[in-house]
Amino acid sequence: MKFGDFLFPESTTPETDFTVINESLKEAELADQLGYHSIWLGEHHFDGACSYADPMAFAGAVVARTRQAKIGFSAVQTALHHPVRLAEQIALLDNLSNGRIIVGTARGTAFNFYEYRGYGIDAEEGRERLRETEEVLQKSWTGNGYKHEGKHWQLDIPVMRPKVVQQPHPPIIRAVATEASTIEMGSLGRPIMMVVQPNDVTEKRFELYKTAMAEAGYDDEAIANNMDNCWIWRNVFVADTDEEAERIAYPAYVGSRQHIALTRLRLNSQDEQESVAAPLDDPRFSPENALITGSPDTVAEKIKPLDDMGIGGLIIHFRIGAMTYQQNERSLRLFAEKVMPRFQG
């Protein structure tokens, strides 16, 4: 199993942005030095849930400070990006990193309507824009010119420069949150990133994913290869003892969820609030389902069922909520030194 560090640092006030952003760069350097397979970047706007907001600009700084780890997006909110600019930015990052970029795509947040309004985008267009953007990315990177006639963009690209390093192009992985999206990606033979789910739901959905691939005509080798390139997200905190891990991680996680809920109440309209009330109470977001804590032995024991499912990689959100950098650094080191080796080689 591969392990990636998810840089998704919360900054609850503008006054803490500078500190959190720069500590996140230190975390990227440390993760690279500790041997994490990849460093993953998120995207949210206006609320401090992801302090650096712009994953493209932040990725440039991460690329410059790392040497080995791949740099993944988990995920680009494609509805908020012009596809040609996005294609150029990723191509440049692929060159600067010598081919270390993984492109995770998503339609954009399903619940933070204020992000769409801030960018002047209709939230209902998110899925259509996602599909168009993925087409533009792939065809602009692989052709000697591409003309796109879509619903949202009409583009005539002579040639994409710079040329991507990875051939035929950087891997594109779709982020999925629903059973229907999981099955759709399986039918298309595409790897996926799955958001936090209880283990039983995770296992069921990957069985549906593999079944969809088989029914679409993919053989066992193709299915195994895709599973090796699929990722799931978990929140993890490691300490010397189970008690210490719970004492630090549980309040940090609950506080982070409260920040998200209160921000949506403040920034979404009344109608928008009603449409997202249920997801905020979704049991998959409870600490019991969304948070893995404990000593290295306990955390390894909790991760083993995920490894047994044959999932290729775990995207780990280490710095949760209001955790200090020192607490996060200790957890990151313990995981790398005492948990990762149990799943590698």
pLDDT by residue for the chain (345 residues), tens only, comes to: 999 999 999 999 999 999 999 999 999 999 999 999 999 999 999 999 999 999 999 999 999 999 999 999 999 999 999 999 999 999 999 999 999 999 999 998 878 999 999 999 999 999 999 999 999 999 999 999 999 999 999 999 999 999 999 999 999 999 999 999 999 999 999 999 999 999 999 999 999 999 999 999 999 999 999 999 999 999 999 999 999 999 999 999 999 999 988 898 899 988 887 766 555 567 788 888 899 999 999 999 999 999 999 999 999 999 999 999 999 999 999 999 999 999 986
Q: Could you tell me the residue ranges of all domains in the chain?
A: 2-230+316-333
Main-chain phi, psi angles of 176, to 5 degrees: -125, 145
Burial 235-258 (b: 16+ CB within 10 A, else e): bbbbbeeeebbbebbeebbebbbe
The DSSP call for residue 183 is H
Position 215 scores a pLDDT of 98
- CA 132, CA 272: separation in Å to the nearest integer? 26
Residue 5 and residue 36: Cα distance in Å, rounded? Answer: 7
**2-230+316-333 under CATH 3.40.50.150, yes or no:** no
- Quote the distance between the C-alpha of residue 40 and its chain's center: 6
Quote the tokens at residue 37. 């397979």
Q: What is the spatial distance between Cα 90 and Cα 40, in angstroms, rounded to a whole number?
A: 14
pTM: 0.96
Contact 208, 179 (CB under 8 A): yes
CA angle 55, 31, 61 (to 5 degrees): 35
